[in-house]
Amino acid sequence: MLADVLLDGLGLGAIYAFIALGYTMVYGIIKLINFAHGEFFMVGAFVGYFALRDLGVDEVDLPQPLPILLAFLVAITLAATAAALLAVLTERLAYRPVRRAGRIAALLTAVGVSFFLQNLAVQVWGAGARAYPEPGIWLYVDDLPAKADADYKIRERVEAVVLKGDAIDTARKAALRAEGIERVYRTPDLTKEGKQGFVLLALLLWTPVLWWLVKRTRMGRAMRAVSEDADAARLMGININLIVAATFFLGAFVAGVGGVAYCATYGSVKPLTGWIPGLKAFIAAVIGGIGSIPGAIVGGLLLGVAEFAIPALLEQLGWADAKAFQDALAYVFLIIVLLVKPTGLLGKPQREKV
């Protein structure tokens, strides 16, 4: 029970963290809540969907996991790159013209861009949810285990030819071959827990990369300089536009990875996929301390766990409808954090200048 809640929470929290990273980086540098960030995530998920489908991840020829991993790697790279390019384009066309027009104008532009991309996706890809491609593994009939450990299918039919639990002796194998069936495939036994584990692993791999980029490279130093004081940074010869574009690229790249991970874990993608996770990820970024990369990760994981743990706890205490409040929890959290510690858990204290 506790382990379930924890794993569910960490799995979802890792997704929030993936999105929150981009929010926090963009906010840190130009003080803009980029509402469209959730849509970069969604576009990444869609590109990943098309890549996985067209790479044929559901009919990999060998019973080894390598091609599947490779397909996922290619899909994730494509998705992340597409999301990143879209972000750079958005920044250039919509955000750069309003950067000096005041924060309300910039924020409203961001709302407009988010709404624009959502509806564009509805028009282009349809409003409905699409099932995310599940990887499939092929086996020769001879290699089937004595007792089928899953449903086995052939390409021509939707229904399985060997059901899970069927005994497979030589006579059965001969019968299958007599039908002309040489090979069968099954989808791997990846439980939701397994997938969530992968997402967490991916987050663990990404964090040091980002940390290194921001703390140890020239580009990262320029980013930090711009976020500290944009005018002074310009006087030091830093190309602000380039740095802002790079920040958008990096943030959306990570969001694209998160988009594929999210949709592969929860099984479907639709144009509204990015909206609520995007909002919550921003809240996660605020909880962790906006502008701070470790803060985004801590905030994301914390929010994910809280979203599962608190309703579960309330249910244990005898409140049957507690699940209805799961979606509102993040906002309550946000308000509490902003009132108690407005800089977030890991944020630097800021003094208001008069």
Least separation in angstroms between residue 339's CB and another protein is 6
Both tokens of 134, joined, read: 């599940």
| 215, burial (CB in 10 Å: exposed 0-12, middle 13-18, buried 19+) | exposed
What's the Cα-to-Cα distance from 176 to each of 115, 136, 158, 168, rounded to whole Å? 53, 20, 16, 10
Nearer to another protein among residue 44 and residue 311 (C-beta): 311
Please report, as ranges, the residues that interact with another protein according to CB under 8 A: 31, 33, 94, 97-98, 101-109, 111-113, 115-116, 119-120, 122-123, 275-276, 279, 282-283, 286, 321, 323-328, 330-332, 334-335, 338-339, 342, 354
Nearer to another protein among residue 135 and residue 271 (C-beta): 271
Least separation in angstroms between residue 351's CB and another protein is 13
Q: What are phi and psi of 126, to 5 degrees?
A: 85, 150
Least separation in angstroms between residue 183's CB and another protein is 45
Nearer to another protein among residue 184 and residue 334 (C-beta): 334
CA atoms in the 13 A half-sphere facing the CB of 213: 16
Both tokens of 93, joined, read: 């066309």
Where are the alpha helices (H) located in the chain, listed in sequence order? 2-30, 37-54, 66-90, 96-98, 103-125, 170-178, 192-216, 218-228, 230-235, 240-266, 275-288, 293-316, 326-340
Angle at 326 between CA 310 and CA 5, to 5 degrees: 45
What's the Cα-to-Cα distance from 148 to each of 58, 85, 161, rounded to whole Å? 19, 45, 11
Nearer to another protein among residue 187 and residue 326 (C-beta): 326
Least separation in angstroms between residue 120's CB and another protein is 5
Nearer to another protein among residue 95 and residue 206 (C-beta): 95
Least separation in angstroms between residue 7's CB and another protein is 23
Nearer to another protein among residue 105 and residue 201 (C-beta): 105
